[in-house]
Structure 1
């Protein structure tokens, strides 16, 4: 059997973002870990919530682990979109875990090993099929051994794969020329961009990396609509 035929037979997890699945061969591969990165205000949290709402629509429980914003603020902000978030939260098809409050109130910093074990305990307890962690890059502020990240992150990613959980790691982009460990270890990297042109804000999305599926790596136009983020086939400019 040819590789192309094998790829066609692989299941896909719909992203919930109109236009995105067409760029990544029909959707995410189930049980994989993906990074969604970009500058502040680029739409990372919105994309994450669309991903969870799509799962909830299909009776797949979603878990949002928050490190910065509190769950009530995230839900309030997402009510501007027609995603049915409040209904899914009330029915517990989407649950939130305020990990930031726990880490900020802890009387000591954790090791990377302890941090990832804590994340796995939360994920197992909630029995979620889709997980979003926001913002993954903030973990650096809560650990005692920053040099031990790559090894423990590799173990964490491998464990998530064995649990058949599809995960989005939302990460702040500090530099377009600096790649952190999660870029290399994740199965895919989606970059959200925004920049000014002729005094107008232009938004774009780029599939920087996507293991195992054919994908379009060119910049594509992206807009915020009443349904959340929508991706278009044309270039942003």
Structure 2
């Protein structure tokens, strides 16, 4: 199974798969299904290929996250572990520099334990991580580089979730993560004729052939679904 086979219609956007070992930025406004699409891709992919991965949550508890996923018809694969760091947020507010190291260590220890069968990581979210790091904006790019590069060297396909505001989108001043990432998948909301649609648009994906057009993203009885439609 390919990553693009995990969500119905996602293969209409891509001609070739999301390259393994890439760092992918999943970005969008609140309510655009960033966590849902990331969780769905990882859980279904890992279940079908017999590999393992971890989903790191900094904002929701494990139980709340899984309840939210279940409400969209998304089930947790036994091959995807949920690493709940939400309880660490208050603890590490005064020692925030250690949190990034802790996350990296957690991932690399899991990689050492599982070996080549450990292939995927998700971090939900970069915004929560930024709020905990006592780092000047000019130093943030360097810190992210030192997080991303070990994951690339370990050939881990990594999905990083980043929430943006409606007004800023991907054009905010500190968009250094866009340059560091190998791929950018933007999710959003668009109102037309008094109807609001969610959309998915691949803005960037190195070493992959894909459409640049926006596609409609919906929640069906069987999970998420992507299809072409007249959005804008």
Q: What TM-score bracket applies, with the shorter chain setting the length?
A: 0.7 to 0.9
The RMSD of aligned alpha carbons is 2.0
1:105 — aligned with what? 91
Aligned pairs for 1:89-128 within 5 A: 91=78, 93-106=79-92, 108-111=94-97, 114-127=98-111, 128=118
> Any gaps of 5 or more consecutive residues in structure 2?
112-117
Tell me the SS of whatever aligns to 1:129.
strand
- Pick the aligned partner of 1:22 from 12, 15, 28: 12
Unaligned runs of 5+ in 1: 1-10
Mapped to 1, the partners of 2:12 and 2:191 lie a distance apart of 26
Q: 1:15 to 1:189 in 2, by over 3 A?
A: farther
> Is the 1:65–1:134 contact (alpha carbons within 8 Å) kept by the matching residues of 2?
yes
Is 1:57 the equivalent of 2:41?
Answer: no
Counterparts of 1:51 and 1:83 in 2: how far apart (Å)? 10
**Partners of 2:90 and 2:219 in 1: CA distance:** 32
Query: Conserved in 2, the CA contact under 8 Å of 1:15 and 1:50?
Result: no
| Cα distance in 1, alignment partners of residues 23 and 48 from structure 2 | 21
Instruction: Provide the secondary structure at the position in 2 that maps to 1:100.
Output: coil
Distance 1:138 1:21 in 2: 31
Contact 2:3–2:41 under 8 Å retained in 1: no
2:22 alignment counterpart: 32
Residues 23-62 of structure 1 show CA distances to partners (whole Å, capped at 9, x for unaligned) of 2333210011000011111000110110121222321212
Question: 2:119 corresponds to which residue?
Answer: 129
SS of 2:56's equivalent in the other structure is: strand
SS at match of 1:235: coil
Q: Distance in 2 between matches of 1:15 and 1:69?
A: 27
